[in-house]
Structure 1
Amino acid sequence: MKINKKFLLVIFIFAIATLASVAAYDGTGFMHNIPTSKYSSLSESDILANYNDTDCTVEASGICTKVVDGDTIEVE
C-alpha cells in the first residue's frame, strides 16, 4: 500500500495543531484582575462571609493519616 503525500501532510498538520492546542492550555481558564492586596487585610472567614450563597468553609490544616481513595483522606 502506497501512502499518499497529501495524506501525510494532513496528518502532520493535524498533529502540529493538536500539540499546539495542548501546549497552549494555561490552567483552568479562570482569570481576574483583582489585586491580592484587596484581600490581604481580611481573614478567610471575612472573605467567605461575602459569599454566603456558597457552602465553602475556612481551610483547615492537619496531618494526613490515611488516604482512602482519590478524593477522601483522614486528617489528624
Structure 2
Amino acid sequence: MPDDTASVGIGMNGAPVFAAQAVPGTKLVFTPRPQYWITAGTFLDGEVLNVEEITNDAEIPYDNTFSMNAVLTQTNLWTVFAPKS
C-alpha cells in the first residue's frame, strides 16, 4: 500500500471517531477513553460542536451500566440517572 492512501480507525454509528494515517509495516493501537455528554439544540448530523458555546450539557457517567435516563428540566438543566431495575 503506498503512503498517504488509506486511514484506519474506529467508528461509531457509521461515523469516524478516531482515525490515523495507515503506514505500511506499522502497528496502530487505539485506546479510547470516551466520555459521553448530552445537550439539546438544533444541530446538523456530523456537525462539529463548539463546546465553549454549549451551556446546557451534562456528562453521562457509564460505570458498568448499559442504560441511563436523562431529563431536561424546565430550568434547562439535565438530571441524569440510572433507571431502577
TM-score bracket for the superposition, by shorter chain length: under 0.3
* Larger Rg computed on CA atoms: 1
Structure having the larger proportion of residues in strand: 2
**How high is the TM-score relative to the length of structure 1?**
0.20
Q: Which gives a bigger RCO, structure 1 or 2 (Cα 8 Å, sep 6+)?
A: 2
TM-score, with length taken from structure 2? 0.19
Q: Which has the higher helix share?
A: 1
